[in-house]
Homo-oligomer: A and B are copies of this chain.
Amino acid sequence: MAAHIRPVPLEKAYRLLNHGPTVLVSARHGGAEDVMAAAWACALDYDPPKLTVVLDSATRTRDLAQDAGVFVIQVPTAAQAVLTHAVGTRSLHDHPHKLRDAGVELFEMPEHDLPFVAGCSAWLACRLMPEPSIQNRYDLFVGEVVAAWADDRVFRDGRWMFESADPSLRSLHYVAGGHFYTIGEAIDVASE
């Protein structure tokens, strides 16, 4: 396992997505691998943790995730804005060298036959929960998170540390037309 990557307890995994970052979706099947960007990913449940993600039918990543029944949702960093935009706008169907050209480096995690994108801040290994009705009507997929990890320079003890970590590790929040925001400053509201 790469330096700085630490497991995240499953009951804290929702926190990796709770602040609404743009994510990368990756999947592998039959010797093929693809990675795409998705702004429309969202936590769905705490325990067991689940998430939703919209995967357009034109994407190869969707086919691979459906065929494999598993996929990865990962949180790219500010340093990966160009990579994120590149894998979000080019299709493997038209660009066979899409991943290489975008500078995507994949790595393995023990016990998971999945392609993980290096340089991200968090990774959620997901099992696809078949929901044919909403998949077909809305391109909406449900995943159960079966394992999670984060870079302990920016997420540790169950908390994001954006306010103290290097700004290059901040999450990306896409709007449109190549325009992203990074996550900003902390506001803490006292709980009763």
The reply on A192 being an interface residue by CB < 8 A is yes
In the complex, the chain B residue whose C-beta lies closest to that of A180 is B187
Which 10 pairs of residues, A with B, have the shortest CB-CB distance? A20-B20, A184-B184, A19-B173, A42-B42, A85-B189, A178-B189, A182-B184, A180-B187, A178-B191, A81-B187
In the complex, the chain B residue whose C-beta lies closest to that of A186 is B181
CB atoms of A185 and B184 under 8 A apart? yes
- Complex Cα distance A134/B185, Å? 35
The reply on A21 being an interface residue by CB < 8 A is yes
In the complex, per-residue mask of A45-66: 1 if CB is within 8 Å of any chain B CB, else 0: 1000010101000000000000
The reply on A159 being an interface residue by CB < 8 A is yes
- Complex Cα distance A191/B39, Å? 17
CB atoms of A181 and B183 under 8 A apart? yes
- Complex Cα distance A78/B187, Å? 8
In the complex, per-residue mask of A165-189: 1 if CB is within 8 Å of any chain B CB, else 0: 0000010111111111111111111
Min CB gap A80→B, angstroms: 10
6 more CB-based (< 8 A) A-B contacts, given A19-B174, A42-B52 = A45-B138, A160-B181, A179-B186, A180-B186, A181-B183, A182-B185
